[in-house]
Amino acid sequence: MSDRIETVEIDDAGERLAHRATPAYQTHEGVYTRGVSGFFQNIRLYAGFFLLGLYFLLPWLNWGDRQLIWFDLPSRQFHIFAATFWPQDLMLLSWLLIICAFGLFFVTVFGGRVWCGFTCPQTVWTQIFMWAERFTEGERHTRIKLDKQPMSVGKARKKIAKHTIWFGVAWATGFTFVAYFIPARELVIDHWTGQASTGAYLWIGLFTLATYVNAGYMREKVCIHMCPYARFQSVMFDQDTLTVAYDYNRGEPRGHRKRDAEATHQGDCIDCGLCVQVCPTGIDIRDGLQYECIQCALCIDACDSVMDKMNTERGLVRYATEHELNGGTTHWLRPRLLGYGAAMAIMVVAFGYAITHRSPLDANIKRDRGALFHETKSGAIENTYTLTVFNKTSFNEVYEVNLAGRPGAKLIGPETLELAPGQTKVAVYQIQMDPDLIIQSRLPVEFLIEPAKEPAHTLSVESTFIGPDRWN
């Protein structure tokens, strides 16, 4: 170590230092957001309360004798209102997710990151946690000061109060999440009395911890560094997309000025810095559109309140399109938006049709593989099939099994199958054919399964009948 040759600075390190604005291993400085009230903050608040209310309330509502929304994993049934979905309905789930994705695209093309700013769980829960922070520790400047103070009884009390509220909300979140999978009314008793399953405790614990860390500490870091949606949505923006924007032409050159002063050479921005202080992701909106911006519109409310005080027109920071800011006109109805809308509308209609016309049964036929066919004493050719019928309804159903489109073929096996709700039944059938009728070695056959109560939903399943190749 000691014999290392001393390095000699041969160029201007200072200059390069200046270029390196962000060190490789940066310690993130906390964002201390300032409280703000206004139109958009109200929308966020009401939207947040509404969504949270739904989230916390839904597991407590019942539909008949079961929970209204209940993802019953052990018996592989998803109950949503009157409908029950089975693993066989997975296709519907994927379509629902595709529709949601298109909904997101549509909204983003029109109004930017509305989802992020107003409805994303990350935003909503962060909002609650920030409220707890303000409630216990006070406003932005008080919090900054508090964090710099040495530990004292007063500081400890505030911190404990904050973390208690955080933990309470996190626990309620974790509990509610699990209550979508294990009926809430059982879980609430069982988990206090220590009778819930280990899995339930584990998941409640995990979601409590995740909520606590996420909404308490991660916050904007999730949006900036982890969220994939934040990264790819820029491809959906165009010059007619509404975004939270600073009206550069009106605001610049910025600077302090007195109220009502006729500032001939100055713009409307008084550089109060309020828009920066309220920002949950810690950016300056006046630098233009940035990927960190979740478009929560808090800076709009902050700026509007300042503009009111300055007796200047509102909207220095506002929802605006790029065309609008540059003095052009905004083209609302553009092919991209209409395309997303049309695609979504078609899918919603198709989805509605698929949901309402869901088959109340599932059936599947397997030809025995062990033997191609066998001969009866009378010389007829027989194939064996295993029919599996699954009753997806919530009532007992009788299914009539018939053969279609193969004249002269005889079906041997139970003529009707009776199934309890959710039951799967396996039945063995034989198709018997006279050798003279077997015109080729492979013949298509069709089984018709007709539910007695809903004959319109008769299901047809196809298989093959195999006969000998040459027949003497």
Partner 1 sequence: MFNDSLPTFWSIWVAVITLLVIFGCLWLIWIVRKSEPYKEETEETMGHSFDGIEEYDNPLPRWWYFKFLGTIVFGLGYLALYPGLGNFQGLLGWTSTKQYEEEVAAAEVRYGPVFAAFADQPVEVLASDPEALEVGGRLYSNNCAVCHGSGGKGAYGFPNLTDDDWLYGGSVEKIRESLNVGRVANMPAWQATLGDAGIEETSHYVVSLSGRAHDETLAAKGEQHYQTYCAACHMPNGEGMHALGAPNLTDDVWLYKQPNLTVIESVKLTLRHGRQGVMPAQLPRLGEDKVHLLTAYVYSLSQAN
Q: By CB under 8 A, name the binding residues for partner 1.
A: 4, 7, 13, 16-17, 20, 23-25, 368-375, 377, 382, 384-386, 413, 426, 428-430, 468-472
Q: From the CB of 371, what's the least distance to partner 1, in Å?
A: 3
Query: Between helices 153-179 and 184-193, what is the axis angle to 10°?
Result: 130
Nearer residue to partner 1 within complex by CB, 234 or 464: 464
Residue entry with tokens 């009206």: 247
Q: From the CB of 394, what's the least distance to partner 1, in Å?
A: 23
Q: From the CB of 367, what's the least distance to partner 1, in Å?
A: 9
Q: From the CB of 23, what's the least distance to partner 1, in Å?
A: 7
Nearer residue to partner 1 within complex by CB, 300 or 466: 466
Nearer residue to partner 1 within complex by CB, 265 or 377: 377
Q: From the CB of 391, what's the least distance to partner 1, in Å?
A: 16
Residue entry with tokens 């919603």: 348
Q: Where are the alpha helices (DSSP H) in 149-234?
A: 153-179, 184-193, 198-213, 220-221, 228-232
Q: How far is CA 443 from the centre of its chain?
A: 47
Nearer residue to partner 1 within complex by CB, 17 or 82: 17
* Tokens standing for residue 294: 């979740």
Give phi and psi for 397, each to the nearest 5.
Answer: -140, 145
Nearer residue to partner 1 within complex by CB, 13 or 82: 13
| H or E element at residue 23 | none
Q: From the CB of 439, what's the least distance to partner 1, in Å?
A: 16
Q: From the CB of 392, what's the least distance to partner 1, in Å?
A: 21
111 and 242 Cβ atoms separated by less than 8 Å: yes
Nearer residue to partner 1 within complex by CB, 127 or 383: 383
**Cα–Cα distance for residue pair 196/182, rounded to 1 Å:** 10
What's the residue count for the chain? 472
Nearer residue to partner 1 within complex by CB, 404 or 426: 426
Residue 427's DSSP bridge partners are 387
Residue 15's DSSP bridge partners are none
386 and 401 Cβ atoms separated by less than 8 Å: no
